[in-house]
Amino acid sequence: MPVNENVILLDIEGTITSISFVKDTLFPYVTRVLEEYIEKYWDDESFQQDLELLREQAVIDSNVEGFVPISTGDNAKKSVINNVLWQMTNDRKTTALKQLQGHIWKDGYESGLLKGHLYEDVLPVLNKLTDLGKKIYTYSSGSTKAQEYLFQYSMYGDVSGIFLKYFDTKMGPKGSETSYTNIASEINVDCSDILFLTDVVVEAEAAVRAGCNSILLVRPGNAPLDPEKSSKFRTIKTLHELLEAK
Ligand SMILES: CSCCC(=O)C(=O)COP(=O)(O)O
Ligand SMILES: [Mg+2]
């Protein structure tokens, strides 16, 4: 069997989806519609929950350099917009930002403006792995809703059925070992039965510290890997290599 582990846990951006789709399509979409979205949904319960998370995050962030506070009263909407834009400029992976982004992308996917990008090897290989009895999950900084929309409205149609469950930063940050033990206990397997695929060495290292195995993806447009730090890991260019004998 080319892959020993029974669980394949996939990072999204830089692993099965291009970084360019996230940075040049998804993020600019949020920047473009943010003001209109906040005006339209301000009083909705779903947005008020997102706002509560953003306010909680703002308390945590108050000492971060360049922090943009969220105010109450007349300036509240403007301050939320500025806080979100500040977080996005710094590519922060806070659960609060990611939850809001996921909700904003929903409209874009439903209107057909956004189509989730997947590298062409992803579906054939994941289908093959599923046929071999492997269980497929994702773990991304993007919220579980953002992940679900990306697969539901992908460039290949609705492919969400391939994935048994999506995990996000509610499991913990991707550079933290405990996030991987949390995921293992959520799906009731031992870490050693999980193969985590990612483009980021720090994430691979955290997964390995937790007892998982990890392989690095080298996709076009990814940041170059540090040769020394990445040398401990197998690197592959497409998922097809998972099906080849090692
Ligand atoms: C699920 S698509 C949105 C991706 C995103 O917002 C992000 O920050 C990428 O994180 P990843 O952990 O998939 O590299
Ligand atoms: Mg990634």
ipTM for the complex shown = 0.95
Q: What percent of the chain has pLDDT over 90?
A: 98
Whole-angstrom distance, CA of residue 83 vs CA of residue 175 = 24
Coil, strand or helix at 10? strand
Instruction: Find the residues whose C-beta lies inside 6 A of ligand 1.
Output: 11-14, 22, 26, 93, 98, 101, 140-142, 146-147, 150, 174
32 CA from centroid of ligand 2 (Å):
24
Reported confidence tier of residue 24, pLDDT bands at 50, 70, 90: very high
Average model confidence (pLDDT) across the chain: 97
Higher pLDDT, 76 or 246: 76
pLDDT tens digits along 204-219:
999 999 999 999 999 9
Task: Identify the bridge partners of residue 236 per DSSP, sorted by sequence position.
Answer: 217
Reported confidence tier of residue 99, pLDDT bands at 50, 70, 90: very high
Reported confidence tier of residue 1, pLDDT bands at 50, 70, 90: low
Q: Residue 207 in contact with residue 7, Cβ under 8 Å?
A: no
Atom of ligand 1 nearest to the CA of 138: 13
Region 173-191 average pLDDT: 98
Determine the pLDDT at residue 234.
97
Determine the pLDDT at residue 246.
65
| pTM of the full structure | 0.95
Pocket test for ligand 1, best of 22, 26, 183, 214 (most atoms within 8 A of CB): 22
